[in-house]
């Protein structure tokens, strides 16, 4: 019996010729797009879409689309997704033209504002009508940005999820697990932008790199198309003889995968493994064995490639897709007409101390109740003369009197004149 010797892998992974376009939408989307342009993605086209002409002028994207309507009047969407949606719908032929001829469209956007939230779902629908596989990469706001932006982001996320083939969402709040107290605000936003850019690069590598274990584009389309799932991703990298074990531990404890919970809930996994010429099959198997152990019911698509730049190193990207969570109402409090949460509807029904200004108890009411009336109802005379409200002081802490703290109280005929007159005489304030 003869043994077939595998051919020596190339020192750099070959590229598949799949037409891919990355489109940044809105201010946050354009920022991530510039990160990708600086790093470079071979064979990928880039485009930028926004309602703000100033941000479009600042981006390095070779193809730019300014969405303008009579309603916007050159002032952008003003943080209103309805304006962004209207601008996209009125420019639908231009959006379709931007996506023509592409097999894959990556849409990058930040949700919670006007342009990214309003334009992205319309763009995804236009891209799908051209026959492209549409994958969204989005960010949601920090909690400190307010409940209104959170609610708008969730609305945009739901709309985009309904039309895109795949959706990868990076909640900015999770980045707090990757930073410390001394991380500046500028550095924090740089980390979020770079992290989302890493997700795009990993997906691009999964689609375009031909290596030890190849991923066919048709298989990926079948896995993603019409699944309407939300996804999370994580990147782990290690070097040295124990790199495969370290990577498995990093992935299972990764905050972006909810410390492994996302793997257990996933119904589809895409895994990209990158290593140097010294990458062994045992290392690939060790990583995959640990991942498969936590997601036995998930459909797994795995690719592995060799790159000479990864000599003595190994990098693994996991993209976990699961069915969407519940409706928006289950995750956020009810909103008022202006989009803000209604504290009166959503507040917890906790017990409060009885008011010291409340009416007296039935036992202290003037006059006995009429026994012949139902439920001990008050007689007509009692209804005409309701019990007086009891006047009392507010239950506040006593404040210091300053230099008069040790002064003797002003007592006249047994009354403390330092107390307000309405308190001493029992006058109820309406």
Q: List the domain boundaries for the chain.
A: 12-210, 229-327
DSSP 330-376: HHS--B-TTSSB-HHHHS-----PPPTTSPPPGGGSSS---TTSGGG
The answer to whether the pTM exceeds 0.75 is no
Strands 415-416 vs 411-412: parallel, antiparallel or unpaired: antiparallel
Domains 12-210 and 229-327 belong to one CATH topology = no
Nearest to 188 by CA among 176, 201, 204: 176
Alpha-carbon distance 357 to 300, whole Å? 66
* Fold (CATH) for 12-210: Rossmann fold (3.40.50)
CATH of 229-327, one of 3.40.50.20, 3.40.50.150, 3.50.50.60, 3.30.1330.20: 3.30.1330.20
Alpha-carbon distance 335 to 349, whole Å? 18
Whole-number pLDDT of residue 327: 44
Q: What angle do CA 152, 154, 155 make, to 5 degrees?
A: 65
Cβ 148 vs Cβ 154: under 8 Å: no
Whole-number pLDDT of residue 364: 43
DSSP label of 295: -
Q: Where are the alpha helices (DSSP H) in 130-234?
A: 147-163, 185-208, 217-224
Whole-number pLDDT of residue 205: 78
Cβ 96 vs Cβ 130: under 8 Å: yes
Compute mean pLDDT per 10 residues along the chain, 430 residues long, and list them: 39 69 92 88 89 86 83 63 87 92 93 88 93 90 87 89 85 81 87 86 78 72 63 86 91 82 83 89 90 83 84 88 54 40 35 41 46 47 51 52 62 74 68
């Amino acid at each position: 019996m003869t043994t077939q010797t595998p051919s020596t892998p190339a020192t750099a992974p070959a590229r598949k010729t799949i037409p891919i376009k990355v489109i940044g939408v809105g201010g946050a989307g354009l920022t991530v797009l510039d990160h990708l342009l600086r790093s470079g993605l071979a064979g990928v086209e880039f485009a930028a879409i926004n309602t703000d002409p100033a941000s479009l002028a600042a981006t390095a994207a070779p193809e730019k689309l300014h969405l303008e309507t009579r309603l916007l009047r050159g002032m952008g969407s003003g943080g209103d997704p309805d304006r962004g949606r209207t601008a996209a719908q009125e420019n639908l032929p231009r959006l379709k033209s931007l996506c023509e001829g592409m097999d894959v469209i990556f849409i990058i956007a930040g949700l919670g504002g006007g342009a990214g939230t309003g334009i992205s779902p319309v763009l995804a629908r236009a891209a799908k009508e051209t026959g492209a596989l549409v994958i969204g990469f989005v960010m949601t706001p920090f909690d400190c940005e307010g409940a209104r932006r959170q609610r708008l982001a969730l609305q945009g996320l739901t709309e985009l999820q309904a039309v895109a083939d795949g959706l990868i969402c990076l909640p900015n709040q999770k980045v707090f697990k990757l930073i410390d107290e001394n991380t500046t605000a500028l550095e924090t936003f740089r980390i979020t932008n770079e992290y989302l850019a890493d997700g795009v690069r990993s997906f691009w590598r999964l689609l375009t790199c031909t290596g030890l274990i190849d991923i066919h584009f048709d298989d990926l389309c079948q896995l993603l198309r019409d699944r309407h799932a939300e996804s999370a991703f994580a990147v782990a990298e290690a070097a040295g003889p124990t790199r495969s074990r370290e990577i498995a531990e990093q992935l299972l404890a990764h905050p972006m995968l909810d410390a492994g919970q996302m793997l257990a809930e996933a119904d589809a996994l895409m895994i990209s493994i990158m290593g140097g010429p010294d990458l062994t099959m045992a290392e690939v198997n060790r990583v995959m064995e640990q991942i498969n152990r936590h997601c036995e019911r998930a459909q797994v698509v795995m690719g592995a490639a060799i790159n000479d730049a990864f000599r003595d190193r190994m990098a693994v990207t996991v993209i976990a897709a699961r069915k969407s969570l519940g409706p928006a109402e289950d995750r956020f409090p009810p909103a008022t007409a202006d989009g803000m949460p209604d504290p009166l509807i959503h507040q917890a029904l906790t017990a409060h101390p009885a008011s010291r200004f409340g009416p007296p108890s039935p036992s202290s009411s003037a006059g006995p109740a009429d026994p012949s009336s139902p439920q001990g109802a008050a007689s007509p005379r009692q209804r005409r003369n309701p019990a007086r409200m009891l006047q009392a002081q507010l239950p506040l802490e006593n404040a210091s009197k300053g230099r008069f703290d040790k002064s003797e109280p002003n007592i006249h005929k047994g009354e403390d004149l330092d107390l307000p007159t309405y308190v001493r005489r029992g006058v109820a304030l309406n």
